[in-house]
């Protein structure tokens, strides 16, 4: 069984993340959305909120399972018997950063392969940090995130 880990903070989960997860689900038997706790960072949405949103959004997807993790993604991959990490890349800047991470993960877990997926063109320019900034400044984020994410952000702000 081919299990892939799609790690991130998903703060917030965007249509770009959803697109990558759904496309990965057609390539792998199971995709684990691994929501990083990141206790040392101040995140807009709590771990519980990010998990709840992800569970709701992927509830109809048979082979996508959101979980929370802390620590190294390579340790999680070993624990889940996964040999694949999914990473979304939008630009060459993303690729540069992600290729360094892929090399480091390979050193930590030689059996792991990182699979880079580009989001569909209409999601290419969406990033969680830009969505957060737009939301904080009172802008309309409805074309970047699902309604449940928009509502969660509005409650926070």
What digits encode the pLDDT tens for the residues 2-42?
999 999 999 999 999 999 999 999 999 999 999 999 776 67
Q: What range defines the domain where residue 11 resides? A: 3-156
Instruction: Give the C-alpha separation, 85 to 23, whole Å.
Output: 14
Number of domains in the chain: 1
Predicted pLDDT of residue 11 = 96
Mean pLDDT value across residues 138-148:
97
Mean pLDDT value across residues 105-117:
98
CATH number of residue 109's parent domain: 3.40.50.620
Q: Which helix (DSSP H) or strand (DSSP E) does residue 78 occupy?
A: helix 73-79
CA 30 and chain centroid, separation: 15
Predicted pLDDT of residue 23 = 97
Instruction: Give the C-alpha separation, 16 to 157, whole Å.
Output: 22
Check whether 117 has a pLDDT greater than 70: yes
């Amino acid at each position: 069984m081919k299990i892939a880990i799609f790690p991130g903070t998903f703060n917030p989960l965007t249509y770009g993340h959803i697109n990558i997860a759904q496309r990965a689900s057609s390539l792998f038997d199971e995709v684990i959305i691994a929501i990083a706790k990141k206790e040392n960072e101040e995140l807009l949405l709590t771990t519980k909120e990010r998990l709840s949103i992800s569970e709701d959004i992927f509830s109809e997807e048979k082979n996508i399972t959101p979980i929370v993790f802390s620590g190294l993604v390579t340790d999680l991959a070993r624990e889940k018997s996964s040999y694949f990490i999914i990473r979304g890349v939008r630009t060459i800047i993303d690729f540069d950063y992600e290729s360094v991470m892929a090399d480091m993960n390979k050193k930590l877990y030689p059996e792991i392969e990182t699979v880079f997926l580009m989001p569909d063109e209409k999601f290419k320019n969406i990033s969680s940090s830009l969505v957060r900034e737009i939301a904080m400044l009172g802008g309309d984020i409805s074309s970047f995130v699902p309604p449940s994410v928009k509502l969660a952000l509005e409650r926070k702000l």
